A and B are shown apart, each in its own frame.
Chain A
Amino acid sequence: MGKKSLFMSQSAEKIQELKTALHSFHLSNGGKMVPFAGYEMPVQYLEGIMNEHKHVRLKAGIFDVSHMGQFSIKCDEKEYKKLEEIIPIDLSSLKMHQSKYSVLMNKNGGIDDDLIVTKVNDGLNIVLNAACKHNDVKRIHEVINQKNTKLHEDLSLIAFQGPKAASILETLVPGVKDLKFMNGNSYNYDNEKLFINRSGYTGEDGYEISLPNKLVEKFCKKLLEDKDVKLIGLGARDSLRLEAGLCLYGHDLDPKTTPIEGSLSWALSKKHKSDGSFLGSEIVLKQIKDGTKKKRVGIKPEKIIAREGSKIFINNEEVGVITSGGFGPSVNGPIAMGYIKTDFAEIGKDVDLEVRGKKHKAKIHALPFYKKSYVK
């Protein structure tokens, strides 16, 4: 038997992986550790990906996402314009403590990272992907004075997701149940400051909790005192986000893919889409006007599991490629995302996927595969 997987392929690099503040906690809870984006992270715990995935859809789960970059900028409205040149959202219209998903643009109209920006009292907080964070910081320093910024290595980040997350977190941190989706606030716990945002990447209601490294293990243990809470690994995080139709940077998005091709036009502000005042906008605005050659779509295979790299065919003509694919435990079947020639990007369209040299039936499918239950 020989494995070929997302996580295994990265283990071949033999880099000394970094550890999050929860590393020993993962090990003592049966975490199966794998290298991911330069960190040693739990892909699953003892119950396995399938059970962990279903648990998040039914109850509540804790994910360690401390490998992601927690970046802050001390700034006022005067600085917004410079930042909006590379992150094309309307920062002035963002309400205090409101968050927005956006992208870091490059000069070719491609996406250097996808990220979440939150407006806070003294400026902005940005959550960056682990594998991109150091390059992102370099890019941001080209427009914002370095001395007003910080990448917070002293903070951990946990996602607490699932239909029971709100009622359980409320018992520890009163007030969080009143947060609206994509809104956050500061709270106190154990004489320490937490920043809690109602958001997540699973398609479930939930929170992302930023807290000091020295508090994170104690806080997780407190959450785990509720029998409905379990630790969830990166494997289930991947299957949950794929069911929710959400992109994984480096797979579904990359520096050569534009937000329009990535079906992320909604992540750019109306203002930027009309006046084009951002990096790469000449390419992006032309695509908005004339269309793109390819587009990101959902794909539902009939039987086969088509992984990243599987080619998409229509009548023996190669028309695209799968960028994320696997088994969706809540969909109870194979699901995928990929890029297809825009002419064929219609829901319900029959396609063939090439897996191990053979073609297998699939259909273009609406995203998400699993209906979201966010609190609006």
Chain B
Amino acid sequence: MSEKKYSKKHEWVELEGDVATVGITVHAAKQLGDIVFTEVPDKGKKIEAGNEAAVVESVKAASDVYSPIGGEVVETNSSIVSDPSLVNKDPENAGWFFKIKVTNKSEIDTLMNKSDYEKYATENPN
């Protein structure tokens, strides 16, 4: 399994073979507050890197979750649909959103590593 990478829009990606798991970061989940609704993409949906893929809603706001990497959705996390608070409890593990069969693995190289992301998130809190 490759190192976890992070996007400027506060998603994380973890590549295993040619399938990447995508979710929102600990920082993003904390910023959103109490998550009360999630919507994950349909299996089979083709998504380009940087496009809207899922939705996460707190009491106050709805936010789009973008896929930092392009490909075809192969699996979604039904646990966060039935219990959206799982995204608050464990955003970077059990609270993952979807798995995507990656078209172009090199896209992951444009993303940040953990320490760069942490610095970025401190400077760009929203």
A residues engaging B (CB < 8 A)?
1-8, 43-44, 48-51, 53, 235, 238-239, 304-305, 307, 326-327, 329, 334, 356
Cβ of B65 within 8 Å of any chain A Cβ, yes or no, is: yes
**CB distance A305 to B37 under 8 Å?**
yes
- Nearest 4 CB-CB pairs, A to B? A5-B61, A50-B34, A327-B36, A49-B59
Which residues of B, 38-70, contact A by the 8 Å Cβ criterion? Answer: 39, 55-66
Q: Chain A interface secondary structure, helix, strand, loop or mixed?
A: mixed
**CB distance A238 to B62 under 8 Å?**
no
**CB distance A356 to B57 under 8 Å?**
no
Residue of B33, B56, B57 touching A44 (CB-CB under 8 A): B33
**CB distance A5 to B62 under 8 Å?**
yes
A3 to B65, CA, bound (A): 9
Cβ of B122 within 8 Å of any chain A Cβ, yes or no, is: no
Which residues of B, 5-34, contact A by the 8 Å Cβ criterion? Answer: 9-11, 24, 28, 33-34
CB distance from B53 to the nearest CB of A (A): 10
**CB distance B60 to A7 under 8 Å?**
yes
On chain B, the number of residues with a Cβ less than 8 Å from chain A's Cβ atoms is 23
A194 to B65, CA, bound (A): 48
**CB distance B61 to A1 under 8 Å?**
no
Knowing that A1-B56, A2-B66, A6-B61 touch, tell me 18 more A-B residue pairs with CB under 8 angstroms: A1-B11, A1-B64, A3-B61, A3-B62, A4-B61, A4-B63, A4-B64, A7-B61, A49-B33, A49-B60, A50-B33, A235-B59, A239-B60, A307-B62, A326-B60, A327-B59, A356-B39, A356-B55
Cβ of B115 within 8 Å of any chain A Cβ, yes or no, is: no
Q: Which residues of A have CB within 8 Å of B11?
A: 1
Known: A305-B57, A327-B57, A356-B55. Is A4-B33 also a contact (CB below 8 A)?
no
**CB distance A334 to B37 under 8 Å?**
yes
A334 to B37, CA, bound (A): 9
**CB distance B64 to A326 under 8 Å?**
no
**CB distance A43 to B37 under 8 Å?**
no
Cβ of B126 within 8 Å of any chain A Cβ, yes or no, is: yes
Q: Which residues of A have CB within 8 Å of B64?
A: 1-2, 4
**CB distance B60 to A305 under 8 Å?**
no
A326 to B59, CA, bound (A): 6
CB distance from A55 to the nearest CB of B (A): 13
Q: Which residues of A have CB within 8 Å of B24?
A: 1
**CB distance A2 to B9 under 8 Å?**
yes
A24 to B57, CA, bound (A): 30
Q: Which residues of A have CB within 8 Å of B59?
A: 49-50, 53, 235, 239, 326-327, 329
Residue of A8, A50, A51, A53 touching B61 (CB-CB under 8 A): A8
Known: A1-B28, A1-B56, A4-B63. Is A48-B33 also a contact (CB below 8 A)?
yes
A86 to B80, CA, bound (A): 51
